[in-house]
Amino acid sequence: MIKPASRLDQTKKNTMHSTNLFLTIFLAISLSTRSTIAHDVQYLEKGKKKEPSVEKVFMWDSLGKSHQSKPEELDIVFEFHFQNQTDSDIQIKQTFTSCGCTVAKLPQKPWIIKPRQKGSIPITMDVRGKAGVIEKETTVVTSEGNVVLTTKVAINSDTNPVGTKPSRQRSEEERADNLRQAAKNRQAVFQNKCVECHVKPTVGKRGRQLYATACGICHDAKNRAPFVTELRTIAKGKDRAYWDLWIRESKPGTLMPAFGKQHGGPLDDSQIKSLVAYLTRIFPREIKTRQAINAAKKPKAKSNVLPLK
């Protein structure tokens, strides 16, 4: 017999819900406030070394880093260096990025930074299929407040030096050819020349990083085909069984490939489980945070009520 939930269990659930709601609103307010001053970021060129001198919770070498990419570069890795100049421990709790193509990696959560301790946060931008100037924000949530780190990559899609790989930006003819191949064989995306973008980046990845390289490359793409679903619009209420089926086996008759290795895909069972866990536990919270941020950015309607005298 299934016992009804106790009052204590219900109280715990209500407390957890209130905590998550508070965190979502807190992040929304802080992120939307920061977005209004993004143009004030002073960028340090990727690879250049500089002693931490910018104070924002920690002392940072820079709050923004930029890079002029080469045609063969697909994953751009930035390193943000910092030092705890205070006399107290500071916890780095988690990170949020403005797009699935950008991933920040922490050694552990929470990451406790001792007084005078130095550290660095690597942030990777996946620029496959992109062109122009790409700018992304990563929010570092700490026990002393939030820090927004900005990464910017300039991608030249028009010209390519002699002997280099072709531009990342696919032409309409290439896109049409890819669709024809997928219609004949939905697993074609994991074969031949497609391996470079759709297989290699997933090797060794798990959770959110795996989502960015396996799912986000198509479902979060700015110029995705009309029939490619934006997963954020359908994620609500989807359980583990739903995501596991679509990732592992997909659905015959559609262009969505099966990612399970038993079907010719690139992902093993452990990777699929980590991706399902991300999509059911973390992904919905990120969607709520993004919605709250967008709501906070909207101008408030003017009140028609006259002020009291």
pLDDT in tens, 234-255: 888 899 999 999 999 987 778 8
Q: Report the pLDDT value the prediction gives residue 170, as an integer from 0 to 100.
A: 64
Q: Are 80 and 120 in contact (CB under 8 A)?
A: yes
DSSP 8-state secondary structure symbol assigned to residue 134: E
d(CA 216, CA 283): 12
CATH 2.60.40.10 domain locations along the chain: 42-155
Residue 221's pLDDT is what? 75
| Nearest C-alpha neighbor of 182 from the set 172, 170, 194, 173 | 194
Of 72-86, 119-133, 283-297, which gets the smallest average pLDDT? 283-297
What is the Cα–Cα distance from 252 to 268, expressed in whole angstroms? 20
HSE-up of 223 (CA within 13 Å, CB side)? Answer: 9
What pLDDT, in 10s, does the model give residues 296-308?
A: 767 766 656 555 5
**What pLDDT score does 286 carry?**
78
In three-state secondary structure terms, 36 is coil
Residue with tokens 């489980």: 273
219/33: higher pLDDT: 219
Confidence category of residue 89, pLDDT binned at 50, 70, 90: very high
Is the per-residue pLDDT at 152 higher than 90?
yes
CATH 3.30.450.40: does it fit domain 42-155? no
The average pLDDT across 146-150 equals 94
Q: What is the pTM of this model?
A: 0.54
